[in-house]
Structure 1
């Protein structure tokens, strides 16, 4: 039976794989248990890892470090790819406000840690470790250790020990703060969903309206002439003549008084366009469709699935000229875009095409329209992105006195966001199915939590019994006080949506388990968008403040 003992308590690859598998399996099973309707979910993997390590199931340090960092990279990279297409528009819609709130949480955490140092006499290096653990920020821990070693010439083990003791309840405290805010402020998910839907409609990039044309000065002019005159992006999809006949519109179509136009444009541009052409009339999609002669004119959403189309502009494809169709909208990651000649198509785009049935079918062949092709993974983009992310995360940004870097989480996240938004410029296929993205995300966070737990378990109990239990309380204060102050202010004064608020809390503490909990609770991408919006700035601030805090003590 020596082989069995060696498998569980020895070393080697088989032992490491078994230890990680047991930690993740048991953690996932425990995560299904709900107490009072609340579950910590996959966070249980962390505590199972601590327990296994405490009882002797440890893993080689190099292996542990690799698994932890690689798991975190997979997690943040999959998030970046998912939110990338809508990231910059979301930043314009309140992003600065989010960053300001996140920075307030960071600075309040430092202030609380310093106040505890003054009140209790706990050494600053230890408090910096507790601070990093309380906000689950591993790069901050590494920056603090490096700054202390370079400045003093020796290591201080209390930095890492404070981190390990405070980290578990830091994870719990962040999630518990989300739950407390939810019940204390009486958040109702039904109302949040309604508010989110209203916000989505408000910021929708493409809206439809029916207009009766009565501008005498433009009578008989072409659509192209009027587009140049208005100088706004819009598409006239169909024209209904006074006799009730419907025709598909193109740039050469002429418009006369009494015609009715089906116009698609930015919501903010619609009032000006309506006033320019005439006045709005009530006609829904069915009314336009029912008046189509002989059902020859059809509209269909076509999926872009051919890799040759990825990154191509509409002007390159010349679809309207070749097939006599009209493209009225492009839906990308749930957002409707106004089509124009310079718009670059991406794999996974849904293009609304209007035209004769045969022409629409020909267009579908050109664009692909094959769901099966979307199921194929695009590993090239993922690993190219990870490589670029590691390079970016390793670039020194500031020297105070040690280089401040984005690290192996911040770099890949930023690159993933940029690839998700601009990857088609370099002919990279950025589309991944929701199930594939979720699989990468869950595998990454599970590996990360298991590695952190296994690494923190050795000596964990001894540290607590020898006075480290006080650090747990300090860590809870550092975690909870800043979050509650900013969360209440953001909710009551800034009227922030609760789903976005959860992403803000998770991002301001750079806490992947909290984001995983927020995503599962919300059932939408709003927490991930909030997390990704604040994460790069917060990562920089966490590293910078940790180093300054250490140098302040020397």
Structure 2
């Protein structure tokens, strides 16, 4: 007991502990302060970006302007943090654009792709010439180039290529408003220059692929008596599905032993432009109305994880005869479509299956249904894709004295496009749910913009004072050149119609506000389709052109 009492009464010298712990505590406080300010900059930037004046808003780029102000007062974000943001943002862009990029490139979009190449190439050439004339630095020139095209991927590529402390964000911040407002004004003036654009909008339809429709059809073709659905070739050729039949006044799932007969009334699912051929082959549209459709019990969304389905076609699986279910639609990489008989099933596909409850349950077990799979991101695949993209970005190709590398923007973008296009490698799925992908992309973008803006904030005022109106003049030229070049090339060389021109130019300028201005003027989805066709290509081109521009000026 005595020893215990002595131990409790021993004098303790806390001064050494305080001396050691105080610096660590102060450093931790500084780190916490930086994190708080970082998220404050992001939050205020997002608020600024949501403010709309005459239909114009900054979007996520509002973070740059708040960060420039914060950087002017001494706040800085570590370049390493900004680099993480760049890689996440660019990789998610690639994953999102991958499923439609090559398909768009090799379809109707070839002419629109050429328009994008012309606009981007001319703008880069003009930026190089203006840099020579006005003696602008590579960082200011690349920032003006990115801002005029309202392209944050170009800003990311330039920031990664240039040393820390460059003025690239200053150039971006000056040119960006010119880019946003310039495209909107151009689009609003387009109908005045070409009044026929409104007439074209009246005859233009919706999605060129056609809207997915459901039509009730009565079978009148006697040649189809006794045939199975798989024997009707027009169904496979037109990518249409027969999902239900009327029995006792109600729509019921197609039974496993189903055969066609005259007088049957069938529910057909397909796209406009395709479903009409199926209706003509089967019979006529039914006049039956107010049918009862037991959707909840007879329809189910099933997520594929089983190797029994992955890599096989619907034709090979014989799901109707084996399970009594019909796959009415498939959702893959956020795109919903009516499947053809030779459509191959991918891991993570979301199948809209139609059948009786017991049949649906049996098929769900066979498909390895796990609802969470549709919302999950495989972090191993994500990490592997990011690492592969960064390795690819570090590789350099030399041509004499000129060397080129994709960088931390181009490498992850290219890997993201490839993984997003294929979607699956064996049992490995590279898909990311839309919500997760958008969250990562937005987080990466805002962190990067905060870092880039804060880094340039110190020099912003001095750079503007030093260069005066020169930067504004260069920014205005870099906005007008691609707009006028694109209009002339598309109208008189590529012979595009005016609605395609409007959407294509907005896509090449990566201007979502511009697209909004188009859709407010004309009632047609053609501009949006052209925009969607061009936008992924513009992202790739501007990301690759920016480091080349910097190398030529340096």
Structure 2 counterpart of 1:78, from 71, 78, 92: 92
Which residue of structure 2 lines up, in the alignment, with residue 150 of structure 1?
Answer: none
Residue of structure 1 aligned with 2:230, choices 216, 224, 227:
224
Once the two structures are TM-superposed, the CA of residue 97 in structure 1 deviates from its matched residue by: 3.4
Could you give the per-residue CA deviations for residues 77-131 of structure 1, whole angstroms, max 9, x where no partner exists?
223333433444444554323322322222332443455467xx433xx365443
Q: 1:352 to 1:391 in 2, by over 3 A?
A: same
- After the TM superposition, which of the residue ranges 390-399 and 404-413 deviates more from structure 2? 390-399
Q: How many residues align?
A: 507
Is residue 2:95 matched to residue 1:95? no
1:359 aligns with 2:359: yes
Aligned 8 A contact 1:166 1:472 in 2: yes
SS at match of 2:424: helix
| DSSP-derived class of the 1:135 partner | helix
CA–CA separation in structure 1 for the residues paired with 2:433 and 2:203: 23
Aligned residue in 1 for 2:403:
403
Q: Which moved more, 1:324-333 or 1:370-379?
A: 370-379
Structure 1 pair 372–452 and aligned structure 2 pair: CA distance change class (3 A): same
Instruction: Summarize deviations over 1:359-386 as a string: whole Å, max 9, x none.
Output: 1233345446665554444322322221
Q: Are 1:122 and 2:140 matched, yes or no?
A: no
CA spacing shift, 1:311–1:255, aligned 2, 3 Å:
closer
Relative to structure 1, the CA distance from residue 341 to residue 166 in structure 2 (aligned partners, 3 Å threshold; closer, same or farther) is: closer
1:10–1:39 Cα change, 3 Å = farther
Q: Is the 8 A contact 2:131 2:141 kept in 1?
A: no
Residue 62 (structure 2) aligns with: 44
Give 1:476's aligned residue: 475
CA distance in 2, matches of 1:58, 1:245: 66
Question: 1:457 — aligned with what?
Answer: 457
Q: Is the 8 A contact 1:27 1:42 kept in 2?
A: yes
The residue that corresponds to 1:338 in the other structure is 339
* Equivalent pair of 1:8/1:19 in contact (CA under 8 Å): no
Aligned partners of 2:169 and 2:296: how far apart in 1?
A: 66
Which 10-residue stretch deviates more, 367-376 or 79-88? 367-376
Question: Would the aligned equivalents of 1:310 and 1:424 in 2 still touch at CA under 8 Å?
Answer: no
Q: Which moved more, 1:417-426 or 1:305-314?
A: 305-314
- Aligned equivalents of 2:216, 2:202: Cα separation in 1: 26
Who is 1:154 aligned against?
none
Q: Is residue 531 from structure 1 mapped to residue 541 from structure 2 by the alignment?
A: no
SS in 1 for 2:389: helix
Structure 1 unaligned spans of 5+: 147-156, 507-513
Instruction: Tell me, yes or no, if structure 1 residue 135 matches structure 2 residue 145.
Output: yes
- For each residue in 1:429-454, what CA deviation from the matched residue of structure 2 results, as whole angstroms up to 9, or x when unmatched? 44544443332122111111111112
Q: Determine the C-alpha separation between the residues in 1 that align with 2:347 and 2:204.
A: 25
Structure ID, larger Rg: 2
The CA RMSD measured in Å over matched residues stands at 4.9
Q: 1: distance between equivalents of 2:162 and 2:376?
A: 44
- Indicate conservation of the 8 Å contact 1:27/1:46, yes or no: yes
d(CA) in 1 for partners of 2:241, 2:369 = 23
| Partner-residue secondary structure (3-state), 2:206 | helix
Matched, 1:176 2:181: yes
| Contact 2:178 2:476 (8 Å CA) reproduced | no
Given that 2:216 and 2:267 are in contact with CA atoms closer than 8 Å, whether structure 1 keeps it comes out as yes
Matched, 1:199 2:211: no
**CA deviation vs aligned residue, 1:296-338 (integer Å, no higher than 9, x gap):** 9964141316576884535686643442222232233242131
d(CA) in 1 for partners of 2:181, 2:407: 27
1:395-446 Cα deviation digits (max 9, x unpaired): 4467364333333223323332333332234333445444433321221111
Q: Which moved more, 1:519-528 or 1:217-226?
A: 519-528
Q: Which residue of 2 aligns with 1:379?
A: 379
Distance 1:9 1:522 in 2: 52
1:502 positional shift: 3.7
Structure 1 distance, partners of 2:421, 2:177, is: 34
Q: Identify if the C-alpha distance between structure 1 residues 257 and 539 changes in structure 2 by more than 3 Å, giving closer, same or farther.
A: same
Q: Which moved further from structure 2: 135-144 or 42-51?
A: 135-144
Q: Which residue in 1 is equivalent to 2:446?
A: 446
- Asked if the contact 2:300/2:354 (under 8 Å) is kept, the reply is no
Point out the more displaced range, 302-311 or 478-487.
Answer: 302-311
CA 1:454 to 1:4, structure 2 compared with 1: closer, same or farther past 3 Å? farther
- Offset of 1:203 from its aligned partner? 0.6
Per-residue displacement from partner, 1:261-291 (whole Å, max 9, x unpaired)? 544456555455455x35432457x66x54x
| Contact 2:46–2:59 under 8 Å retained in 1 | yes
> What pairs up with 1:309-328 in 2 under 5 angstroms?
311=310, 313=312, 319-328=319-328
Shift in alpha-carbon separation, 1:114–1:390, aligned structure 2, 3 A: closer
CA contact (8 A) 1:347 1:430 kept: no
| 2:238 corresponds to 1:237 | no
Asked whether the 8 Å contact 1:110–1:131 carries over to 2, the reply is no
- 8 A Cα contact 2:244 2:266, kept in partner: yes
Secondary structure of 1:338's aligned partner: coil
Closer, same or farther in 2 for the Cα pair 1:282/1:139, shift >3 Å? same
Whether 1:302 aligns to 2:312 is no
SS across alignment from 1:331: strand
Query: C-alpha distance in 2, partners of 1:255/1:484?
Result: 57
* Greater shift in the superposed pair: 321-330 or 221-230: 221-230
TM-score (norm 1): 0.73
